[in-house]
Amino acid sequence: MWDYTDKVRDHFKNPRNVGVIPNADGTGEVGSLACGDALKLTIKIGKDGRIADAKFQTFGCASAIASASALTELVKGKTLEEASTITNQDIARHLGGLPKEKMHCSVMGREALEAALENYRTGVPVVKAHEERVVCTCFGVTEEVIERAIRENGLSTVEEVTNYTKAGGGCGGCHEDIEAILARVTGKAPPASKPEPPPPARKLTSIQKIRLIEETIDREVRPLLKRDGGDLELVDVIGDQVVVAFRGTCHQCRVAGVTLKDVVQPKLREFVSPDLVVVEETP
């Protein structure tokens, strides 16, 4: 269970300024339903040049709703220049803090605000440039987004980058790329490669195999899934076939198949047996 502040709970249960402004002067849409988080922010500019109204619609967790609600409170009454200086840290502070694993919700709020302001200035929808290199294909996070999060928030580890951008929170295949970006931005050498895990005993009893599978899931897989409210349950072990079931937000997730083949199976083959085949429980 996340340790939410009273202000986060209040904004989640009683969100401010929910909806869409008709004939809005600026609209910012960020995120993706496929990735589990999406936010639409609309703003109205008054005759005095200040933001007279702001409303939001979001698909996401309690932190996403609270962050968007707090953002609308922060921008109202501000000039465009003042609003453009609002950071994701300002959103988190307005809420009395966010769990470190949910800081990406405040980043999404800041991105929506920037998109809405840019839309007002240019009159055209803001679309990410196609030439931006996508580092995390699971969540569509670009190199530019990762670099900016590192610079603005003083990030130094892959885990922190995941907390602020969700990059690396899926299959984990982009961790080396994230480490390289961290090294370039911070000027620090990437960490040395992890030593190869010791090979498991060649002969395992059925009980030993099941216990080792459970330990590996608890240590190597479950923490990654729980970052975004997901989980994994071991259903059965039939010879070298491991039957699992996704729970929480991972259940029926569009990238669950990728997670199964690129994260769960490789981890179990690495720490238990190279012969294991992981399949998802059929309904």
Active-site position among 105, 136, 138, 250: 105
DSSP state string for 227-269 = TTTEEEEEEEEETTEEEEEEEETTTT-TTHHHHIIIIIHHHHH
Q: Which residue's structure tokens are 């530019």?
A: 144
Annotated active-site residue 35? The verdict is yes
Q: Which residue's structure tokens are 């922010």?
A: 41
Q: How far is CA 281 from the centre of its chain?
A: 26
The DSSP symbol for 79 reads B
Q: How far apart are CA 254 and CA 33, in angstroms?
A: 10
Q: How far apart are CA 92 and CA 96, in angstroms?
A: 6
Annotated active-site residue 105? The verdict is yes
Amino acid identity of residue 220, one-letter, is: E
Residues 6+ apart with CB under 8 A from 160: 100, 153
Catalytic center residues: 35, 105
